[in-house]
Chains A and B, each alone.
Chain A
């Protein structure tokens, strides 16, 4: 007999890849991806193309755009274009790090709660409830107020503010999957619970994880930009978009570019990410259920009829 079936035994289907590719084919997915990639590209490679240094004083404050300063000057007469090109990567990096931390912590907590059940589950969920009692920005501000706007603290603060919701979503998904017949079919063979969890439950969590990551990343950027806007995020004089929007507000009537340019970039990024995540959710869950799931998750509701996973 041919061993053609042999390769089927160890390969798991790259389901998530199919989902993402499928999402990219939809108008929402494609436009979201384009927007996101455009801004990420600008943030990542911008510094290489900046005509001037971001901190050099080159002109008059709020100078109108001319040949030397294509977007004009900011409040101190620095080149707006260069600052804009320089001002994204740190924001993105910290946001990504914070999101990653939040996802990792939240997933660990959620899966542990689903697996251990009983007392451990109750404890973890109560901690989650407490952490969820704070509006995200307030929580981060609280931590920043005490220690100061250090970068590592920002990463941790953002991560901690995401972890509870991620834990909730993943716990709900994991619980739902462990009740399925195909998981019981493995349990019934006598396979150890840890192994069952690893082999059957965790791989099925990839879809809700993807959607959560997209949503969380969007919020991370919003929170960090907002934080920088009120002055407690990444600190001057290094340019960052949130900060730029705030510090140049005064000169809005003279030169609106130092406010408009970073604002547009931030907007494009968040809209793009959110749209892409939306597209992925739709492909994975079907349009109707994706609507319901995202509508509740975005607001921090307990995910109701579980985020279905396959």
Chain B
């Protein structure tokens, strides 16, 4: 029996920047069968979003499809007139955007937006009303008139995204492209959205393309995977093939950087950064960073060829035709974390918080919070957005002063604001901000930024002393001293975050507060930063308060975890205990809903 013809066929697709030879996408060939979910995985700059859009024949301003073909149900999209393309878009091919808050017109009621799409594709008024009711039920939104007459900003993030799904499924398309649709949603909502997508796709036989950087999410949803790097597909196959037995060195490196909520392991990062369009080397794009490269890799561009099975392809000279056990050896998985520094320090905790209640104007954000951080241990604070975890960090560091209760540091009470604290305390508690693109002054060089706390706390050290301290700090965060003369805008996100950490460490604090410091970073960069912090924490006997919404990350860095919900602490305990045997219903929900890489990584 012949298999049904594929919905989408891409052949040698190339997308370039307008009027320039720089390619954003190159040599991309994929097919998608009806009902199949293809996951496109890659980090920023890999071209995955461009690929997702290209599947429905769309490119953003400044880009153009310069080669290859895009066929939808047998029709070549590049040959279609705009009017014909419009007929297909929204009806047979649909798109779910990354950020529904900005993708829904703020001036139009959501009900009208939905009806508009139906009307544009020929549904009569009565048909449309029926369909609206139906599709809203399918995505789990009530078909209430008051919901339909809301403006987008009046809906929650989860509702907005479900609405975007409803708009996409309304005309029963054959293909849906979802672009990171669960970014910024909390874990439970994310789970619901993913389940909805899976249901709809299987009930209606809709083919889907799921673009994401989140490997764990994709692994749970997709049937097949395509891994993107520097504008090319470098590995493709079924989910179990690609994630269970990755062939390409980049895929292996990527998987080792993904934190797991189930196993505490050291994250392993890859060195270097991906090349930008226009700066891609002649040979294999990954070659400069590849630990198993050979001489030919520099000059020869590998083809996407089958490896251990007909469906599993990889773009690597070393894997073509057969599994390469030699390469496997170079990719030892991250070693499991031992409880090396788990020996509970006896004696008083370094930081003790009791009965903390904090508010913004009159609305309470934290209620009755209590926790303790021992010296030389890392406590992770986990919560979803709005839980108050950032406010907690700000209270501890003195940026937020509207609180009652007690915070004790080294057994003496901490006053509320930065200006009332002693120099010693200020020096001993340091803070790393979330956004590396905003926390470094654009007017100061890297060296000047790192030196700033030094100059503030240690009077007038000599130039030689400053140099020594700065170079020590930079070495500790694995930044070459040459970067000291550069300005932040010349550095990558990961490098900037390292500078921020160096700045915090240069005055030898005892407590480091890290507020979602990897949320803005790619997975592999995140792995590098987290592993760096873990090492530093052990080497320097540092205590850390690590704030994150990513439950999986907790296992790779913390010994204790505190779970926060709506301003209250719901569970506290050692990481193993809380994540394996959660007691509180909220924690249980978090643990079951957090996506995890379902396939064991290759050894």
Contact = CB atoms under 8 A, between A and B. Distances in A.
Question: Are A and B in contact, CB atoms below 8 Å, in the complex?
Answer: yes
A12 B443 contact: yes
Given A1-B468, A186-B452, A189-B457, A8 B443 contact: no
Interface string A59-83: 0000000000000000000000000
Interface stretch (B220-228, B262-270, B480-488, B566-574): B480-488
A268 B581 CA distance: 78
A5 B441 contact: no
B75 interface: no
A310 B443 contact: yes
A203 interface: yes
A1 B431 CA distance: 28
Interface string A181-214: 1111111111111000000100110000000000
Nearest to B420: A190
B165 to A, nearest CB: 30
Contacts of B457: 189
A5 to B, nearest CB: 4
Given A1-B471, A5-B481, A204-B443, A188 B431 contact: yes
A181 B399 CA distance: 11
A181 B435 CA distance: 8
Interface string A156-191: 000000000000000000000000111111111111
Contacts of A2: 467
A15 interface: yes
B421 A190 contact: yes
A296 B593 CA distance: 48
Interface in A255-310: 310
Q: Interface residues of A toward B: which range?
A: 20 to 34
B331 interface: no
Given A12-B443, A181-B433, A5 B471 contact: yes
B423 A190 contact: yes
Given A13-B487, A310-B443, A8 B433 contact: no
B453 interface: yes
Contacts of A188: 397-399, 418, 426, 431
B41 interface: no
Given A3-B467, A182-B438, A189-B452, A9 B447 contact: yes
B436 to A, nearest CB: 9
B456 interface: yes
B358 interface: no
Most central of A11, A189, A200 by chain B CB within 10 Å: A189
Interface residues of B, number: 42
B448 interface: yes
A183 B487 CA distance: 16
A8 B445 contact: yes
Contacts of A180: 438
Contacts of B440: 182, 185
A188 B470 CA distance: 20
Contacts of B468: 1
A118 interface: no
A1 B467 contact: yes
Nearest to B426: A190
Interface string B498-523: 00100100000000000000000000
Nearest to A2: B467
Interface string A1-41: 11111101111110100000000000000000000000000
Contacts of B443: 12-13, 15, 203-204, 310
Secondary structure dominating the interface of B: helix
B441 A189 contact: no
A178 to B, nearest CB: 13
Contacts of B61: none
Interface string B328-356: 00000000000000000000000000000
B545 to A, nearest CB: 14
A181 B438 contact: yes
A15 B443 CA distance: 8
B419 interface: yes
Contacts of B464: 3
B105 interface: no
A189 B438 contact: no
Interface in B439-478: 439-448, 451-453, 455-457, 463-464, 466-468, 470-471
Contacts of B442: 182, 204, 310
Given A12-B443, A181-B439, A189-B426, A4 B399 contact: no
Contacts of B444: 12
Nearest to A204: B443
Contacts of B485: 4-5, 8
Nearest to A183: B441
B467 A187 contact: no
A182 B467 contact: no
Contacts of B438: 180-182
B418 A187 contact: yes
Given A3-B467, A189-B426, A8 B418 contact: no
Given A186-B452, A200-B441, A8 B447 contact: yes
Contacts of A184: 399, 433
Given A12-B444, A15-B443, A190 B418 contact: yes
Nearest to B503: A185
A182 B433 CA distance: 9
A8 B435 contact: no
B439 A185 contact: yes
Contacts of B487: 13
Contacts of B471: 1, 5
Given A5-B484, A6-B463, A182 B447 contact: no
Most central of A11, A187, A188 by chain B CB within 10 Å: A188
A189 B421 CA distance: 10
A187 B399 contact: yes
Contacts of A183: 441
B433 A185 contact: yes
A180 B440 CA distance: 10
Contacts of A1: 467-468, 471, 481
A4 B447 CA distance: 10
B484 A8 contact: yes
A3 B467 CA distance: 6
B433 A190 contact: no
Given A3-B464, A189-B456, 13 more contacts: A1-B481, A3-B463, A8-B447, A8-B484, A9-B445, A9-B455, A12-B444, A182-B438, A183-B441, A184-B433, A187-B418, A189-B452, A189-B453
26 contacts: A1-B471, A2-B467, A5-B470, A5-B471, A8-B446, A8-B447, A9-B466, A10-B448, A180-B438, A181-B435, A182-B438, A184-B399, A185-B433, A185-B439, A185-B440, A185-B500, A188-B418, A189-B426, A189-B456, A190-B426, A190-B456, A192-B419, A203-B443, A204-B442, A310-B442, A310-B443
Pick the 10 closest A-B CB pairs, nearest first. A5-B484, A8-B445, A310-B442, A181-B439, A5-B447, A181-B438, A8-B447, A190-B426, A182-B441, A6-B463
Interface of A: 1-6, 8-13, 15, 180-193, 200, 203-204, 310
Interface of B: 397-399, 418-419, 421, 423, 426, 431, 433-435, 438-448, 451-453, 455-457, 463-464, 466-468, 470-471, 481, 484-485, 487, 500, 503
